[in-house]
Amino acid sequence: MVRWESVSGYIQIHRRDVMYLALLVLILLLPLIVDSISTELTEFPEAWDIHLREPLDDFQRWTIRNRLTHPLFTWFFDPLSDAVDFSIRQIESVLLWLPWPVVVLTAFLLGQRAVGLRVALFSAFAMLFMGFMGLWDEGMLTLALMAVSVIIALLIGIPLGIMAARSDRFEAGLRPLLDVMQTLPAFVYLIPVLLFFGIARVPSVIATVIYALPPAIRLTNLGIRQVSPAAVEAARAFGSTGRQTLFKVQIPLALPTIIAGVNQTIMMAFGIVVIAALIGAGGLGNEVLIALQKQQVGRGFIAGMAIVFMAILLDRVSYGFSQQQTVSNAQHSHGFHLLPNSWDRFAVVRVFEQGVDLLLTSCARLSQAIAAGVATLVSAIGAAVGKREAVRDVANFLQGHAFLVSSVLLISGLLILHAFAPYGEEFPKAWVFDLGQPVDVGVEWMRDNIYQIGDTSIGTGPLSDFLLIYTLNPIRAFLQDWLSWPLVILGFAVIAYSVGGWRLAIFSAAGLFAVGLMGLWEDSMNTLSQVIVAVFITVLIAIPLGVLSARNDTVEAFLKPILDTLQTIPFFVYLIPVIILFNVGRIPGIMASVLYALPPGIRLTNLGIRQISNETMEAARAFGSTPRQTLFKVQLPLALPAIALGVNQVIMMVLAMVVVAGLVGGGGLGLLAVKGLANPMRDLGRGIEAGIAIVLIAMILDRITQTWAKNREIKGHH
Amino acid sequence: MATSESNFKVSCRKIWKIFGPHPEQVKQALKPDMSRAEILEQTGHVVAVKNVSFGVRAGETFVVMGLSGSGKSTLVRCISRLIEPTSGQIIIEGEDVTAMSEERLRLLRRRKMSMVFQHFGLFPHRKVIDNVAYGLEIQGVDRNTRFERARNVLKMVSLTGWENHYPGELSGGMQQRVGIARALAVDPEILFFDEPFSALDPLIRREMQDELLNLQKVMQKTIIFITHDFLEAVKLGDDIAIMKDGEIVQVGTPDQVILNPANDYVREFTKDVPRSRVLSARAIMKPCDVVCSENDSPEQVQSQLQTYLSPIAFVNSENGRFLGILSRAQVDRAVPTVNHTVRPLVHDNQPTVSPHTFLSDLLSIVAATDLPVPVVDSSRKLLGSVDRTAVIMALGGAVDSS
Ligand SMILES: Nc1ncnc2c1ncn2[C@@H]1O[C@H](COP(=O)(O)OP(=O)(O)O)[C@@H](O)[C@H]1O
Ligand SMILES: [Mg+2]
């Protein structure tokens, strides 16, 4: 039992808060008092529907009719579209033309260069996996889409980030835009691009670029602004021009952060490239989509695995490069271990490790020798031509980049060989084996046995039913029927007012009202009820786990790789395991949301508690607090700002997932959006309306929880 | 000081720097007796530098000393316009820096002056040699030339062999050597040092101070040196300006400041000064009342001694070099004899001291004699004299202001 005093001390109820609470309770009870009015008000008046979808559909029809003639298309969208399409085609055809062993080798070398042998082996494996599963072509297409999107996003994002760093005003203008962009669920980016670019790859790339742009801009800006003012001042004091300061001091020092931005851009781009299958982008995501639509779980599972492996590959390699940019240029640590260190007690492992070590050092020596040879050659040529000076730098560079030189030589060698004696055109058909079948069998078995274990009421089926009957349906009924729409809006307004004042209250009320005006009240309440249940479950799991991992290093060490992986996986993929376990409907969507949103919840709770200063904790202990007293009187109150931020992130991630769950029968706004994407000729207008509603709800939830989290922080600093 | 403006390499006239959104307005509305805290309270503006004027001669080390927050860094940055002064003029070699275009200012920063920073301000991503060569690099000097120059300067600060390390791999003292080398590499005429040794350990700090003194003997640059350490100021400065709350409260040579602090604020600093090792004979010597030539007759000397009521006379040779001293008794005894001049009476084994002799060394000399000790310069020209009383008074902190 937690005693009331300790709780009240922790929550710090203020008189003002009590007043708002009472007001909310009053609103909840209002239907009891004025029962007759409420039944008539349950449904948002249909007469008020502004039918936004009609002009939208008209506009779409107009764009289709005028695509070939209107200057907006012939002079702007079409050339843009052609250029993007051309780039995708080129990159895809290069990737497909490359003999597959060369692609695998390149992945291996990138992994080796970025991190080390373990990641290199994993990268090679991830590529081979696609081959073995017969997904080679799909994988190359996905990679091509990614590459084009990332390159465009960086080409736009990095310069914008630099500009933002150099002009406070520009940053101030950009910031709210970026804030909103990062609030929106990935899904909604796909809808509007359809209007201008039609269906297929180009709109996917455009949506991906827009979605993945913010981290590139933000982290470039942040990196440059973080450069120590002392270094910038020194540069100025020596008479550097603005450009010299930028290129010689600011950008080099910001590089680790900029590359971290590249890493994030890549991961976000990958997330949406996969889901862009919805608008016909093809590739690996398409396999998942088909599997979801046709209920071929095995097929989706395999594609999902390929996507997960690819995501991990992309993350580890780009993260590895960002870590290497740190300034001190530390040498690679010696004594590399491929297998876990603890296995060293087995003689076989020791011998094996020695072998690996020997191999690695010989490779390093060999590449040094090759680079030195090339450098000498270049110097000799330079001397012969009489440009000794100019060539010396090149030779130095070559000598200093042995790995690069030998890799390039190796790959070019293989390509030249390919020109004379073609090999590896296609991944050998004979090597492909169909894992889908056995997986399907496994899934069948799981469904038969886990859905309901024996005759008991234990299993995913009963759990699902329980959630549906006792949480989801009552909450939806509560929002929709019991409270009726004016009270929901009023309730939100009261909460918003208590957190952030009039502006937030008006924004929230107006936003919800607009949702009603689009005729989406019912669907919105459906979605909202799912969000509430998923957030509740997530928080219920995340906070205790976060507390536990903050108080126990073993738990933290155990959770870290799991959370890392969960955060790397594109959210689309989460839908596969949950439909295996929970079939289709609203529950799998909620489960996927919980999985997806758990990591930030756990991480921020853990972080919030761990970052409490040692001195504070010692003081608590010095006064003889029990661990529980320390937790409730010191740790949780001090960690509250971080936890509040965690809740904010959980809500946003849950929302993003719940709408995608429209694909697996989640219903609500997500379903309308999916329909709009699947059949734009008929349902795009409705889809866009749903997209707008999602955006509005996302912004309202984000503003309220964000402001609330910020309030905690200010109080925490008193 | 009577030196005219044009003799100064750098001079500042009425510099103001007010931080805040409306510095001009605040400056206009300022009442002279308002304290900095009051201004901050009432207007939200910080008066970092308040009506500061001074001049620095070529080859001089001018130290600006004051507690943390007194506006030293702001002042020195105003001179190179790293911070734009609110008002006032900065004249460098007759040219008004405040009126310069960006272009001209950049040229000035590239060629004429450079700066050493408190926290070194090194570029962590560049090797030592690239740090040192930075100033030349941005001027477009080719690689070989600038590296050669950088190696030379690194040698001057004894960092040969560290060219290819990164600053992060060096100790604090070594990093600041890189900072100094970087400033010297462009061969500037004017050097700004903003508390360059504050971040270093005391031992290293002393070592660096000595090295700077040695370097300066050779270089003869014009140096503006900021410190919050009064001892450092005394050790390095030809002149010291003491700042408080943005204003200069006293300017003078170290000896002047120690012996005649302008107010309690300054006196507080001088308290901790080990006077015996800071004050020199020059600071406490008094002019000699009776100075005569070796060719004077004893009668002439006697009458002078009587006029001045002085116990001794200082005797110079014909060509103005100091010979020795005569006591009144000696002169009195010599008057009735046949001596035409006082020359034979003077012994040339009289101890003398140089004007730079510190009090600690003077002490044993004045202890051994009841007579005043003559102070002579390197050409044995008589400058004045010190006696036991003056030394003891100066050590005790009392000032004989006569
Ligand atoms: N950019 C700035 N904005 C506002 N106030 C400043 C700024 N820079 C310095 N100050 C204030 O000006 C005063 C003088 O600062 P500074 O020149 O750094 O002092 P010092 O170098 O003597 O320690 C301090 O009170 C400081 O807080
Ligand atoms: Mg300072």
pLDDT in tens, B290-312: 888 888 888 888 888 888 888 88
CB B48 less than 6 A from any atom of ligand 1: yes
End-to-end C-alpha distance for chain B, whole angstroms: 19
Of B125, B139, B168, the CB nearest to A252: B125
- Residue B128: name the closest of B168, B164, B180, B179 by CA: B164
Cβ–Cβ contacts within 10 Å for residue A34, how many? 11
What residue in B sits closest to A228 (Cα-Cα)? B121
Angle at A424 between CA A370 and CA A367, to 5 degrees: 10
Helix (H) or strand (E) holding B314: strand B312-316
Q: Is B70 in the pocket of ligand 1 (CB under 6 A)?
A: yes
Give Rg (Cα) of chain B.
26
Residues from chain B that touch A248, judged by Cβ atoms under 8 A, are 123, 134, 137-138
Bridge-partner residues for B192, per DSSP? B115, B224
pLDDT in tens, B111-137: 999 999 999 999 998 999 999 999 999
- Quick check: B346 pLDDT over 80? yes
Residues A482 and A7: their CA atoms lie apart, in Å, by 31
Instruction: Tell me which DSSP letter residue B160 carries.
Output: T
Residues flanking ion ligand 2, Cβ below 5 Å: B 73
Look at B120 and A233 and tell me if their CB atoms are within 8 Å.
Answer: no
The per-residue pLDDT for A169 is 94
pLDDT of residue A14: 63
| pLDDT < 50 positions in chain A | 1-2, 6-7, 9-10, 327-334, 716-718
Q: In this predicted structure, what is the pLDDT of residue A39? A: 55
Residue B80 touches partner A, C-beta closer than 8 Å = yes
Report the distance separating Cα A523 and Cα A529, nearest Å.
Answer: 10
pLDDT attached to residue A161: 95
| Neighboring chain B residues of A253 at a CB cutoff of 8 Å | 123-125
Q: What confidence score (pLDDT) does residue B308 get? A: 87
> Rounded to an integer, what distance in angstroms lies between the CA atom of residue A92 and that of residue A283?
11
Structure tokens at A314: 């992309």
Are B166 and A233 a contacting pair at CB < 8 A? Answer: no
Long-range contacts of B269-276 (CB under 8 A, 24+ apart): B269/B65, B269/B230, B269/B242, B270/B230, B270/B397, B271/B397, B272/B230, B272/B231, B273/B230, B273/B231, B273/B234, B274/B231, B275/B359, B275/B394, B275/B395, B275/B397, B276/B358, B276/B359, B276/B360, B276/B363, B276/B395
User: Are A238 and B106 in contact (CB < 8 Å)?
Assistant: no
Residue B47 CA, ligand 1 centroid: distance in Å: 9
Averaged pLDDT for residues B5-24: 88
Question: Which residue type is seen at A13?
Answer: I
Pairing relation of β-strands B190-194 and B113-116? parallel
Provide the 10 A C-beta neighbour count for residue A46: 8
| DSSP one-letter code for A327 | T
In angstroms, rounded to a whole number, what is the distance separating the alpha carbons of residues B401 and A628?
72
What's chain B's average pLDDT? Answer: 89
Q: What is the mean pLDDT of residues B52-59?
A: 94
The ipTM of this complex is: 0.79
Contact criterion met (CB below 8 Å) for A301 and A156: no
- Quote the percentage of chain B above a pLDDT of 90: 50
Determine the distance in angstroms separating the CA of B114 from the nearest CA of chain A, rounded to an integer: 6
For residue A320, the model assigns a pLDDT of 87
- Contact between A281 and A200 under an 8 Å Cβ cutoff? The reply is yes
| Res A323: pLDDT | 79
Q: How far is the CA of B116 from the centre of ligand 2 (A)?
A: 12
d(CA A480, CA A482): 6
Q: Which atom of ligand 1 is nearest to the CA of B243?
A: 22
CB atoms within 10 A of CB B335: 12
Start-to-end C-alpha separation, chain A: 30
Closest-CA distance, A220 to chain B, in angstroms, reads 17
- DSSP of A21-64: HHHHHHHHHHHHHTHHHHHHHSSPPGGG---THHHHHHHHHHHH
Decide: B74 in ligand 1 pocket, CB within 6 A: yes
CA B8–ligand 2 middle distance (angstroms) = 25
What pLDDT, on a 0 to 100 scale, did the predictor assign at position B175? 94
Sheet containing strand B87-92, strands side by side: B46-57, B8-19, B87-92, B95-96
pTM recorded for the entire structure: 0.81
User: CATH for A457-487+521-717?
Assistant: 1.10.3720.10
Radius of gyration for the alpha carbons in chain A, expressed in angstroms and rounded = 28
3-state secondary structure of B323: strand
Whole-angstrom Cα distance, residue A306 to residue A130?
Answer: 6
DSSP, collapsed to helix, strand or coil, labels residue B115 as strand
Q: How far is CA A680 from CA A59, A589, A603, in A?
A: 12, 24, 40
Write the pLDDT tens digit of every residue in A413-436.
Answer: 888 888 887 777 777 777 777 777
Is B109 close to A236, i.e. CB distance below 8 A?
yes
Note whether B122 contacts A231, CB cutoff 8 Å: yes
Query: Which residue, among B153, B232, B220, B248, has the nearest Cα to B195 in the 3D structure?
Result: B232
Partner A contacted by B168 (CB < 8 A): yes
> Does residue B71's CB lie within 6 angstroms of at least one atom of ligand 1?
yes
Nearest residue of B to residue A325 by CA position? B125
| Residue A292: strand pairing partners | none
Q: Are A311 and A267 in contact (CB under 8 A)?
A: yes
Contacts of A252 in chain B (CB under 8 A): 125-126
Contacts of A580 (CB under 8 A, 6+ apart): A297, A301, A443, A446, A447
State both tokens at A190. 């796909």
pLDDT at residue A154 in the model: 95
> Which tops the pLDDT comparison, A24 or B170?
B170
